[in-house]
Chains A and B, each alone.
Chain A
């Protein structure tokens, strides 16, 4: 072993307090970046995950000009499901309806709500929205309806006077129910939907609530109702039409695979005005602002790491000052200024390596904890936690380099000590 590395190690070991302080400074800097990454990248990925799982799939197809795809969904789905790497595809249709509940024959609540029409058989292979039905079951029957949690509350009159009513719903409230009657719609209750068909005629139908859908994070259908797509088509008089086709790829598929399949699809249907987007493209507008936020948070984390570099610089200056006599002795017996420089830079490298190791271990510990516990904050969106080895390695390497750079000035100062004066230091 190089004697300078050996001596640097010994000097540090014999100054345990300084060593621990410096290593902690580096490791806490890394930990902060890792925690930031787990939380904010976790939220970002969770939003993408939910958007993909509930709304867009891995590839999302819609008509560029019209509100619905006129081409048969069966043709499109069959095309997709023949492509290797595609797990499933499903049609979806959307509309707006007036939902209405009655208690003891009296109209209790009535307001507008978005309606999603799904094909339950293909939808459960493509989306996980059915898993958000915590109470009851999905829309397997033509007259069944799954009500989002918020809608269920509103239909029960629970949000009267609250802020929710103003968010896209018609706050038309009838009856004189007081807060004592506030009880969300439950499985088994009936809800009447009024939908205006494509000819402008109101179509009314009564549904039985078979499930209540609740999701954290706002990407689900808590403020919508879900019914069978064929029922919705009938009510809209849009037989065979879909608003979109949601495509799910196999788990092994990469974003590049999604792009290739999308391009293949567009080549196969060039004259249908169809537009296809990967999840990254679909989520772009939603997440572009969020990405800036993540960049800002990361910047703050890196400033924290910069602060730890200052801590190392200070501790290294202390170490150099406490080793003035040793520097003088080494110079007297023949060590060059370069030897002294290398010795103290090696100290910085040891601190950096130990700090990077400890910080990465702590960061991985936190990441694992977040992953195992499906970390969420006060019932909000569960974080999508991934081990980003590139990021982990990059952070550790950066911390190591910073520790080394922070050691350059103290090391340079060490080389400036004259042997005779240095040896007089007690």
Chain B
């Protein structure tokens, strides 16, 4: 069992780190929060909404409107430009209202204002991760979920990406849940959840681990 007896809640605007060693279940936990995976028991509540009874289409719509994703490898679509990648979540929900301006503005904020029309596979790893953050934010999601967002970056670029996420979280009052095994890179955050052997504990790893269920 990847996760067992896990229960916690996160407040709006919190920047939460989920840490743990490899195989501890932290990515599984993130996938469940992101509705990419389903718990065999229990439920995930987002914005007070029980997601356990949603159909496949409703899950897709929910992910699109309420969740933003940032993956370890950025996962931009190589066939599209940076701007088109950022526009994609809005286009999926057919929301074309001012979306172009908004996408450009977010890309400006993440420092990619001069890279709008470059193909996604023609920019650097750090730039791609910035574009992924912009894509995660473009639909004003309830939560941005980041799975090892710095795992594939050198230390300088990783630091920049971390600062960017923190900055966006603060400026937009945006909830971030970040899975990482590079705890030190993130410095001070609102909250840390440690996953060990499929169970969660509040705070950094310590001998005084406490189940928050």
Q: What residues make up the interface of A, taking CB atoms closer than 8 Å to B?
A: 3, 6-7, 10-11, 13-14, 325-326, 328-339, 419-420, 423
User: Contact: B77 with A329, CB < 8 Å?
Assistant: yes
User: Contact: A332 with B63, CB < 8 Å?
Assistant: yes
Contacting residue for A334 out of B31, B78, B93, CB 8 A: B93
Q: Which 6 A-B pairs have the closest CB atoms?
A: A334-B64, A3-B91, A10-B79, A336-B60, A329-B75, A334-B92
User: Contact: B75 with A334, CB < 8 Å?
Assistant: no
Contacting residue for B79 out of A326, A420, A423, CB 8 A: A326
Near A by CB (< 8 A), chain B positions 17-42 give: 31, 34, 36-37
- Asked whether B3 is an interface residue with its Cβ less than 8 Å from the other chain, the reply is no
The distance from the CB of A423 to the nearest CB of chain B, in whole angstroms, is: 6
Name the CB-closest residue of A to B136. A333
- Binary flags per residue of B68-84, CB closer than 8 Å to A gives 1, else 0: 01010001111110001
Can you list 23 A-B contacts (CB < 8 A)?
A3-B87, A3-B92, A6-B84, A7-B77, A14-B79, A325-B75, A326-B77, A326-B78, A326-B79, A328-B75, A330-B88, A330-B92, A332-B63, A332-B75, A333-B135, A334-B61, A334-B63, A334-B93, A335-B64, A336-B56, A336-B60, A337-B56, A337-B60
User: Contact: A14 with B57, CB < 8 Å?
Assistant: no
Name the CB-closest residue of A to B96. A3
Q: In the complex, given contacts A329-B77, A332-B34, A332-B75, what are 9 additional A-B residue pairs having Cβ atoms less than 8 angstroms apart?
A: A7-B77, A10-B79, A11-B79, A326-B79, A329-B75, A331-B60, A337-B60, A420-B37, A423-B71
Contacting residue for A333 out of B37, B56, B64, B80, CB 8 A: B64
Q: Which residues of chain B are within 8 angstroms of A10 by Cβ–Cβ distance? A: 79-80
CA gap between A334 and B88 in the complex, in Å: 9
CA gap between A332 and B65 in the complex, in Å: 12
CA gap between A420 and B78 in the complex, in Å: 18
User: Contact: A336 with B61, CB < 8 Å?
Assistant: yes
Contacting residue for B88 out of A11, A328, A333, A337, CB 8 A: A333
CA gap between A338 and B57 in the complex, in Å: 9
CA gap between A208 and B178 in the complex, in Å: 108
Q: Which residues of chain B are within 8 angstroms of A339 by Cβ–Cβ distance? A: 60, 92
Q: Which residues of chain B are within 8 angstroms of A3 by Cβ–Cβ distance? A: 87-88, 91-92
User: Contact: A332 with B36, CB < 8 Å?
Assistant: yes
Q: Which residues of chain A are within 8 angstroms of B36 by Cβ–Cβ distance? A: 332, 419-420
User: Contact: B57 with A335, CB < 8 Å?
Assistant: no
Of B31, B60, B76, B80, most A-chain CB atoms within 10 Å = B60
- Asked whether B126 is an interface residue with its Cβ less than 8 Å from the other chain, the reply is no
Name the CB-closest residue of A to B76. A329
Q: Which residues of chain A are within 8 angstroms of B61 by Cβ–Cβ distance? A: 334, 336
Q: Which residues of chain A are within 8 angstroms of B34 by Cβ–Cβ distance? A: 332
CA gap between A332 and B80 in the complex, in Å: 17
The distance from the CB of B133 to the nearest CB of chain A, in whole angstroms, is: 13
Say which size band chain B's interface belongs to: 20 to 34
Q: What residues make up the interface of B, taking CB atoms closer than 8 Å to A?
A: 31, 34, 36-37, 56-57, 60-61, 63-65, 69, 71, 75-80, 84, 87-89, 91-93, 135
The distance from the CB of A234 to the nearest CB of chain B, in whole angstroms, is: 86
Name the CB-closest residue of A to B37. A420
The distance from the CB of B161 to the nearest CB of chain A, in whole angstroms, is: 19
Name the CB-closest residue of B to A418. B36
Name the CB-closest residue of B to A334. B64
Name the CB-closest residue of B to A1. B91
Name the CB-closest residue of B to A9. B79
CA gap between A6 and B77 in the complex, in Å: 13
The distance from the CB of A150 to the nearest CB of chain B, in whole angstroms, is: 68
Name the CB-closest residue of B to A335. B92
Of A6, A7, A14, A419, most B-chain CB atoms within 10 Å = A419
User: Contact: B57 with A333, CB < 8 Å?
Assistant: no
Of A7, A332, A334, A337, most B-chain CB atoms within 10 Å = A334
User: Contact: B75 with A335, CB < 8 Å?
Assistant: no
CA gap between A337 and B61 in the complex, in Å: 11
Of A325, A337, A423, most B-chain CB atoms within 10 Å = A423
The distance from the CB of B76 to the nearest CB of chain A, in whole angstroms, is: 8
The distance from the CB of A360 to the nearest CB of chain B, in whole angstroms, is: 28
User: Contact: A7 with B80, CB < 8 Å?
Assistant: yes
The distance from the CB of B142 to the nearest CB of chain A, in whole angstroms, is: 13
User: Contact: A335 with B60, CB < 8 Å?
Assistant: yes
Name the CB-closest residue of A to B68. A333
Of A6, A10, A11, A336, most B-chain CB atoms within 10 Å = A336
Q: Which residues of chain A are within 8 angstroms of B78 by Cβ–Cβ distance? A: 14, 326
Q: Which residues of chain B are within 8 angstroms of A420 by Cβ–Cβ distance? A: 31, 36-37
CA gap between A41 and B78 in the complex, in Å: 49
Q: Which residues of chain A are within 8 angstroms of B56 by Cβ–Cβ distance? A: 336-337
The distance from the CB of A350 to the nearest CB of chain B, in whole angstroms, is: 13
CA gap between A382 and B1 in the complex, in Å: 79
The distance from the CB of A37 to the nearest CB of chain B, in whole angstroms, is: 38
User: Contact: A336 with B89, CB < 8 Å?
Assistant: no
The distance from the CB of B123 to the nearest CB of chain A, in whole angstroms, is: 16
Of B37, B57, B61, B92, most A-chain CB atoms within 10 Å = B92
CA gap between A45 and B71 in the complex, in Å: 66
CA gap between A335 and B91 in the complex, in Å: 10
Q: Which residues of chain B are within 8 angstroms of A328 by Cβ–Cβ distance? A: 75
Name the CB-closest residue of B to A340. B60
The distance from the CB of A13 to the nearest CB of chain B, in whole angstroms, is: 8
CA gap between A152 and B105 in the complex, in Å: 92
The distance from the CB of A403 to the nearest CB of chain B, in whole angstroms, is: 21
CA gap between A333 and B88 in the complex, in Å: 8
CA gap between A333 and B65 in the complex, in Å: 9
